Amino acid sequence: MLPESWKDQLSLVSADDYQIMGNRIPNAVTKLPGLETGDGDGGNGGAWVSKPRRIVVSNQLPLRAHRDISSNKWCFEFDNDSLYLQLKDGFPPETEVVYVGSLNADVSPSEQEDVSQYLLEKFQCVPTFLPSDLLNKYYHGFCKHYLWPIFHYLLPMTQAQGSLFDRSHWKAYTKVNKIFADKISEVLNPDEDYVWIHDYHLMILPTFLRKRFHRIKLGFFLHSPFPSSEIYRTLPVRDEILKGFLNCDLIGFHTFDYARHFLSCCSRMLGLDYESKRGYIGLEYFGRTVSIKILPVGIHMGQIEEIKVAEETAEKVKGLRERFKEKIVMLGVDDLDMFKGISLKFWAMGQLLEQNKELRGKVVLVQITNPARSSGKDVQDVETQIHLIADEVNNKFGRPGSGYKPIVFVNGPVSTLDKVAYYAISECVVVNAVRDGMNLVPYKYTVTRQGSPVLDEALGFGAGDVRKSVIIVSEFIGCSPSLSGAIRVNPWNIDAVTDAMSSAVTMSDKEKNLRHQKHHKYISSHDVAYWSRSYDQDLQRACKDHYNKRFWGVGLGLGFRVVALDPNFRKLGVETIVPAYKKTSSRLILLDYDGTMMDQDSLDKKPSDDLITLLNRLCGDPNNLVFIVSGRGKDPLSKWFGSCANLGLSAEHGYFTRWNSDSPWETTVLPTDLGWKKIAEPVMSHYTEATDGSFIEEKESAMVWHHQEADPSFGSWQAKELLDHLESVLTNEPVVVKRGQHIVEVKPQVFDLTEVKPNEFVRYGLACLEKVAGEGDECAKECRARLRVMVAGGDGTVGWVLGCLGELNKDGTLPIPPVGVIPLGTGNDPSRSFGWGGSFPFAWRIAVKRTLHRASMGPVARLDSWKILVSMPAGEVVNPPYSLKPAAENELDQGLDVGVDAPLVAKSYEGVFYNYLSIGMDAQVAYGFHHLRNTKPYLAQGPISNKLIYSGFSCTQGWFCTPFASDPGLRGLRNILKIHIKKVYCSEWEEIAVPKNVRSVVALNLESYGSGSHPWGNLKPDYLEKRGFVEAHCDDGLIEIFAFKHGWHASFVMTELISAKHIAQAAAVRFELRGGDWKDAFLQMDGEPWKQPMSTDYSTFVEIKKVPFQSLMINGV
């Protein structure tokens, strides 16, 4: 099929347009590799067939070119030494690779079209022909003599140290990058293809491509170092280059240092912060995540292995072995440029022979010098200097009679086969660059030294010999971190390099072998195919969400970028706003101040006279309600907008509200204790003194530490430290500490439920929403109608909130919002019963998003509510849980003759539970745990630690030792407890016997108890029929009563090995408790335990009846 983006473009072209275009369609698109059509007779019927494709873009194509003398025609062949050709081994087998780049040949304009067509058909290469003048300015002027030195930490202070910035060279660089974009566009299928750009020659190419194709799948790999921000920021075009990088989806670097410098530049110059997500580093850039890849490139193992087994290589090795007979050969292979440290290497060689007379005549440094990639005075100076030093060392330590020279030059170009021969005879390789992006010489040397049958014979490798190699590597090059067995040196420290050479020469064969094996294992498993495959996989991952977002292009020229937005986002335009404004009669207009009405970078934040006039015009319309919403305090807002009589103000992010200039400021949340400011202020002051450019903004409701004027890196570092410090000292305070863009803010929690009662919170929140809805706001009406509540906590918290919402039924405040659960407790039985799970995942960020989606979309289920009335003799001191409130009157059901003298005055408490009520040992254990948590909260900080503490209390309070206990307090409930029930459709109370030796009785509403167990198991129909029971459900109007004998019984029930003692199924229950040897009983309701005092003279009654209305729960399944 024709890709969608092509269909969109072709739909813009008419037949007339095609005739006008004539033959001017680029040849590159007349036959695109990877896009084929049938011949008309095949099964495809001429349909387009798309194959996976990668477009590899580099400054030069991986081709060798020469003109045949006899035919005067151009001849081409693949350059097998080119990394860009080798990397295709990492792509899936069926993938087609198209190469875009320039030719290392001067092709005349008259031949360019034919050459282009030939290269595309035969090699899948698209050449970019650059005029010689443009090439000279772009490559030799800007790339090699300006960018190259700066990226290698050499600032062009004078013309002799590299070119100064030349605007005409920059324009040439820009023009060449645009030419590359044009060529890529000719062959690109933006819906299918992945584009992989290489190296510093094409750093702004991503901007040109992203501007044309917003959803292009684009990767970039920088093969040179990326300098520190102090060096990089000297570039006059630094922002343009950074934004070019950021228009990619994936940016690759050889080392973490290079990536770190790039991220630091983004932070310092563009204000972008990065974060690590599951092992991936990402930069958020206008809604897109730009991923960072850190992986050093490898070598092509097959190429080296193939050369190692060639007879020609063996002959070369034999010749070199004879030439350097009885000599210890150290090898250097470097390009001829100022950063390879060749002169420093030669000085170290001279010092080695100066200090070690015994090595004179025995050690040889062979230096292979590849031709310089550019020309100029800097290259000439380097060449002159190294020859002078080499001549000096050779003249001082050479032996003309024997032909011995300590330093042997091999001037390039040198073939890969010849280099492999030199690698084979060398005991050590010295890579002494003062700065280099990667450098693969040590890798190739190590693989060669692993040998082959042919090489072993040429080298005289015996059965008892071991593989060995030694690498001396500069710590300033990209391969250094991956060579953990190498001798790392500072190339500027001549003494250190000399010592390293001495160690390499004198090192034992055993140690050389250990170092060699370590390196070979890494290099052989991290070859170029591994590198390419890993990068390609990450590029696909980085691009997978392209079609889940909408893209808007913004910015001009090289400042262009795309803004990625949610697919449901709709841009507000005048053509949309004006008609909607005119046809509405009631309008709420909310205007953000800083960053919207006022430029974020403006020093004077006071509104202009024009802005005040505009606001007064808006407020003058009686159909408009206009509000300024700001994080600023109420005092500056009052001063600035005092002349706007009808303008509403919302200060400190809504903490204060004023409806117009005549109305007082209102606090939109309940009063909160601000004593925490005395703790936070000294901490913030300390960091302000230590961080130049920072300051504290104190609001009435919050405190904010600003660091936008501080050093970006240090300010960010200090902000992280301050965040940790404040969270530590404010742990027990009702505040939240948040880090924003250049700020750390401390502000009250929206509601602190230890100070604000839950029912007040519920009523206040609904009242605010209903107030706005009552004024005609359709959005508020819809929110109220569709409102859902999520409870984050354990069983007690869920019951707490359900009770508050249940009270709304009494007032007729409808509809009652349904409730979902984020399980943060120990048991979490309501959460389990309604499909929210038994615990919240550790990967909570992803889980929150998934949970909120389920909360908004999940079906609503019903849950029975049970009223409890506790009646006891007056005078008893009890500390009931929050969910029990004093009852005005004793409303016990009078239909039951209790058989005891009732006290003259009774004290009663009432409440509602949704899960369970229990009496006995399990409540006693829970009571002990809650008491410990209240006194030592640091011990109970999660479900696992809570369960361990529960287990400890169970053991220490006799829960597991009941059969052996003599303490009356540890005996069964039968001595103090009577149970009466009402069955369904029955008005009479019936006494139920309490089983012998029962230690705990539970009245359960849900199907889950004690962290997800089913106490009565899977009941069979015969059993239900025999007992007169029905299958239990949480909305059946019935409550299950069961019991545990002791801890062991309960443990087996919790693991569902056996069943609990199923006592009854009832529509109403009354427990009668009377003392004796017992002084206290322990009760627990929905996770909230309390100690119930016992009287020897009068009974305490606990009566349970169903509430007429049911609670609403969101089903999370």
Q: Which of 86, 221, 81, 80 is nearest to 527 (CA)?
A: 86
The residue to which tokens 């602190």 are assigned: 752
Segment 941-948 mean pLDDT? 54
Segment 923-949 mean pLDDT? 64
The yes/no answer on whether domain 584-667 falls in CATH 3.40.50.1000 is yes
CB 237 within 8 A of CB 216: no
> What are the pLDDT digits (tens) for 263-280?
999 988 998 888 887 778
Burial 119-143 (b: 16+ CB within 10 A, else e): bbeebbbbbbbbeeebbebbbbbbb
pLDDT of the residue at 16: 34
For residue 588, the cross-strand partners are 625
Q: Round to whole Å and give the CA distance between 459 and 324.
A: 12
CA 652 centroid distance within chain? 30
pLDDT of the residue at 601: 64
Minimum mean pLDDT range among 1-10, 298-307, 590-599, 812-821: 1-10
Give the count of beta carbons closer than 10 Å to the beta carbon of residue 167: 9
pLDDT of the residue at 941: 52
CB 484 within 8 A of CB 518: yes
* Alpha-carbon dihedral sign for residues 340, 346, 351, 352: positive
> What are the pLDDT digits (tens) for 288-315?
999 999 999 999 999 999 999 999 999 9
CB 1054 within 8 A of CB 1013: yes
> What are the pLDDT digits (tens) for 537-554?
999 999 998 888 888 899
pLDDT band with cut points at 50, 70 and 90 for residue 37 = very low
pLDDT band with cut points at 50, 70 and 90 for residue 257 = very high
Most confident of 141-145, 1050-1054, 1059-1063: 141-145
If one compares 604 and 861, the residue with the highest pLDDT of the two is 861
Domain ranges of the chain: 301-525, 584-667, 677-748, 758-862, 866-920+971-1112
pLDDT of the residue at 174: 97
**Phi, psi of 859, rounded to the nearest 5 degrees:** -70, 160
Give the count of beta carbons closer than 10 Å to the beta carbon of residue 915: 25
For residue 40, the cross-strand partners are none
Q: Round to whole Å and give the CA distance between 185 and 8.
A: 15
Q: Is the pLDDT of residue 1012 over 80?
A: no
pLDDT of the residue at 116: 94
CA atoms within 13 A on the CB side of 953: 19
Q: Round to whole Å and give the CA distance between 863 and 860.
A: 10
Q: Which CATH architecture has domain 301-525?
A: 3-Layer(aba) Sandwich (3.40)
Q: Token pair for residue 216? A: 């292009």
Task: Indicate the SS3 state at residue 506.
Answer: helix
> What are the pLDDT digits (tens) for 416-439?
999 999 999 999 999 999 999 999
Residues with Cβ within 8 Å of residue 135, at least 6 apart in sequence: 102, 176
* Residues counted in the chain: 1117
CB 641 within 8 A of CB 607: yes
> 78-82 long-range contacts, Cβ below 8 Å, gap at least 24?
78/123, 80/303, 80/416, 81/303, 81/416
pLDDT band with cut points at 50, 70 and 90 for residue 2 = very low
Residues with Cβ within 8 Å of residue 273, at least 6 apart in sequence: 267, 283, 284, 716
pLDDT band with cut points at 50, 70 and 90 for residue 872 = confident
pLDDT of the residue at 632: 85
- End-to-end alpha carbon distance in the chain: 40
pLDDT of the residue at 1117: 73
Minimum mean pLDDT range among 12-21, 426-435, 795-804, 964-973: 12-21
CA distances in angstroms from 55 to 104, 126, 138, listed in the order given: 19, 10, 23
**How does DSSP classify residue 362?**
T
CB 840 within 8 A of CB 823: yes
Minimum mean pLDDT range among 362-366, 645-649, 1071-1075: 1071-1075
Q: Round to whole Å and give the CA distance between 425 and 448.
A: 10
Q: Round to whole Å and give the CA distance between 963 and 971.
A: 9
Give the count of beta carbons closer than 10 Å to the beta carbon of residue 874: 11
Quick one: how many helices (H) and strands (E) in the chain? 35, 47
pLDDT of the residue at 1011: 60
The residue to which tokens 């901007």 are assigned: 207
The residue to which tokens 């050449």 are assigned: 127
Q: Are strands 703-706 and 35-37 parallel, antiparallel or unpaired?
A: unpaired
- Please identify, in words, the CATH class of the domain defined by 677-748: alpha beta
Order the strands of the 666-667 sheet from edge to edge: 587-592, 624-629, 648-651, 656-658, 666-667
Within 775-887, residue ranges assigned H as helices are 778-786, 795-811, 829-833, 844-857
Give the count of beta carbons closer than 10 Å to the beta carbon of residue 507: 16
If one compares 166 and 945, the residue with the highest pLDDT of the two is 166
Minimum mean pLDDT range among 23-27, 433-437, 967-971: 23-27
pLDDT band with cut points at 50, 70 and 90 for residue 803 = confident
- Helix orientation angle between 943-956 and 921-935, rounded to the nearest 10 degrees: 120
> What are the pLDDT digits (tens) for 653-675?
888 889 888 888 887 555 567 78
Q: Which of 186, 194, 264 is nearest to 229 (CA)?
A: 264
pLDDT of the residue at 40: 41
Q: Round to whole Å and give the CA distance between 1054 and 898.
A: 35
Task: Indicate the SS3 state at residue 668.
Answer: coil
- At the topology level, CATH places domain 866-920+971-1112 in Tumour Suppressor Smad4 (2.60.200)
Q: Please, what is the average pLDDT of the chain?
A: 84
Q: Round to whole Å and give the CA distance between 327 and 313.
A: 20
pLDDT of the residue at 998: 83
Order the strands of the 487-489 sheet from edge to edge: 407-411, 363-370, 328-335, 428-431, 470-474, 487-489
* Alpha-carbon dihedral sign for residues 305, 309, 313, 317: positive
Task: Indicate the SS3 state at residue 14.
Answer: coil
Residues with Cβ within 8 Å of residue 885, at least 6 apart in sequence: 909, 910, 911
Q: Round to whole Å and give the CA distance between 165 and 244.
A: 19
pLDDT of the residue at 242: 97
CB 242 within 8 A of CB 34: no
pLDDT of the residue at 14: 33
What type of residue sits at position 743? I
pLDDT band with cut points at 50, 70 and 90 for residue 775 = confident
pLDDT of the residue at 950: 53
**How does DSSP classify residue 70?**
T
> What are the pLDDT digits (tens) for 555-602?
999 999 999 988 877 777 788 888 888 888 888 888 988 877 777 666
Q: Tell me whether domains 301-525 and 584-667 share a fold.
A: yes
Assign residue 698 a region: left if phi > 0, alpha if psi is -120 to 50, beta otherwise?
beta
Q: Token pair for residue 11? A: 């739909």
pLDDT band with cut points at 50, 70 and 90 for residue 83 = very high
